[in-house]
């Protein structure tokens, strides 16, 4: 089946993408027999099996097995190397990567598509850029319409490769360019950041101060949290009674990681703004998130910067939550916004208090 959109359909997809943005409040691990409806990130983990995925999502990632079909609209659809979709894949996305196996057909409208796995059926793809990698093995026909098409000499297409210049026009395939996924991610992060700053102004400012004062410590704690969290969840899941707790923990850990990314980028933005003599949390949020969104587009180096911000934010978040639990009985509520300067002073004062307490 082809994915078809008329003018009204394209408008509907645009509205759906906005709805996904507003409803994307967590990174979810697929745990039910089927996944339906709007979500942030849907992940079918390795060793996990679901019957189908039909959703509006920021990302759909398959590392395990989907026994039925995948259909929907997403920023990214990725079938990982160990992933398997026994049915077909149809939908619209900014970025589609098939490194694993698909038992049925693939009907996709996208900005960028890379096939470097196996497709047992036919493929009908309309995109700006299409790449058939060296491991591509397609049993049926590969019919495409693209501005740029690349096929590795080692790729195998049993049914032949056919360029159909009327494919998108004749079936109305809706193409999501790469900037849609980029814009979706940025807007989702800005929305989350605005919520965090509005609801927790003092806590957010203290986290920015913690990253500025002790970046190495924050990064180290972030790395330990990032590595230790999944290990702890795996240990919890060993027992049957622990499986529900592990699932809830995985959802919480995914949400915490997202919050850590936003806080880390906000903290760096606050540091840069402070060096310029400004004290404005909202400008700091925009500077940090937009800056890292641009950096993230730089191959390799950009990813390292974004990962570094994640470690900083996750470490500061973990430390901040720990300190909040320790001091919640002693600290009264703050009835005004905490400035960056005050948060940095609080950070130093808190460290001094801890050292004095330890000395006693």
Q: What pLDDT does 339 receive?
A: 47
Indicate whether 289 pLDDT > 80: yes
Q: What is the pLDDT of residues 262-272, one digit of tens each?
A: 999 999 999 99
The CA distance from 86 to 125, in Å, is 19
Q: What is the chain's mean pLDDT, rounded? A: 78
Residue 136: phi and psi, rounded to 5, are: -65, 130
Flag the least confident range among 56-65, 163-172, 216-225, 246-255.
163-172
The confidence band for 134, taking pLDDT boundaries of 50, 70 and 90, is very high
The confidence band for 311, taking pLDDT boundaries of 50, 70 and 90, is very high
Distances (CA, A) of 8 to 12, 15, 17, 320: 6, 11, 14, 48
3-state class of 305 per DSSP?
helix
Q: What pLDDT does 70 receive?
A: 92
Higher pLDDT, 243 or 101: 101
The confidence band for 295, taking pLDDT boundaries of 50, 70 and 90, is confident
Is residue 12 packed enough to be buried (19+ CB in 10 Å), middle (13-18) or exposed (0-12)?
Answer: middle
Q: What is the pLDDT of residues 163-217, one digit of tens each?
A: 987 765 544 344 445 566 677 778 888 999 999 999 999 999 999 999 988 999 9
**Tokens 């160990």 appear where?**
82
Per the rule left: phi > 0, alpha: psi between -120 and 50, beta: everything else, 150 is beta
DSSP 108: E
The CA distance from 331 to 340, in Å, is 19
Indicate whether 7 pLDDT > 90: no
Segments in 36-177 forming alpha helices (H) = 167-171
> What is the model's pTM?
0.51
Greatest Cα-to-Cα distance within the chain, rounded to the nearest angstrom: 79
């Amino acid at each position: 089946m082809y994915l078809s959109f008329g003018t009204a359909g394209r408008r509907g997809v645009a509205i759906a993408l906005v709805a996904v943005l507003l409803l994307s409040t967590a990174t979810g691990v697929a745990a039910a027999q089927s996944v339906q409806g709007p979500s942030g990130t849907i992940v079918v983990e390795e060793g996990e099996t679901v019957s189908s995925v039909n959703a509006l999502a920021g990302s759909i990632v398959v590392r395990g097995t989907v026994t039925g079909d995948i259909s929907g609209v997403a920023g990214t659809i990725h079938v990982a190397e160990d992933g398997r979709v026994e049915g077909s894949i149809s939908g619209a996305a900014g970025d589609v990567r098939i490194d694993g196996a698909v038992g049925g057909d693939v009907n996709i409208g996208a900005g960028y598509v890379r096939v470097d796995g196996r497709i047992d059926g036919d493929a009908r793809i309309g995109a700006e850029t299409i790449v058939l990698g060296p491991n591509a093995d397609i049993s049926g026909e590969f019919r495409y319409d693209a501005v740029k098409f690349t096929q590795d000499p080692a790729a195998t297409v049993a049914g032949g490769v056919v360029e159909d210049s009327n494919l998108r026009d004749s079936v109305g395939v809706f193409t999501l360019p790469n900037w849609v996924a980029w814009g979706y991610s940025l807007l989702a992060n800005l929305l989350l950041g605005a919520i965090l700053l509005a609801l927790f102004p003092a806590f957010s400012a203290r986290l920015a101060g913690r990253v500025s004062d002790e970046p190495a410590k924050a990064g180290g704690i972030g790395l330990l949290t990032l590595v230790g969290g999944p290990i702890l969840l795996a240990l919890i899941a060993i027992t049957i009674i622990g499986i529900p707790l592990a699932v809830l923990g995985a959802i919480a850990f995914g949400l915490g990681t997202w919050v850590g990314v936003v806080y880390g980028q906000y903290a760096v933005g606050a540091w840069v703004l402070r060096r310029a003599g400004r004290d404005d949390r909202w400008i700091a949020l925009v500077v940090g998130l937009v800056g890292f969104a641009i950096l993230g587009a730089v191959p390799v180096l950009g990813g390292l910067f974004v990962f570094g911000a994640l470690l900083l934010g996750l470490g500061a978040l973990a430390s901040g939550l720990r300190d909040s639990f320790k001091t919640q009985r002693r600290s009264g509520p703050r009835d005004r916004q905490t400035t960056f300067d005050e948060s940095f002073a609080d950070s130093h004062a808190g460290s001094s208090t801890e050292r004095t307490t330890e000395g006693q």
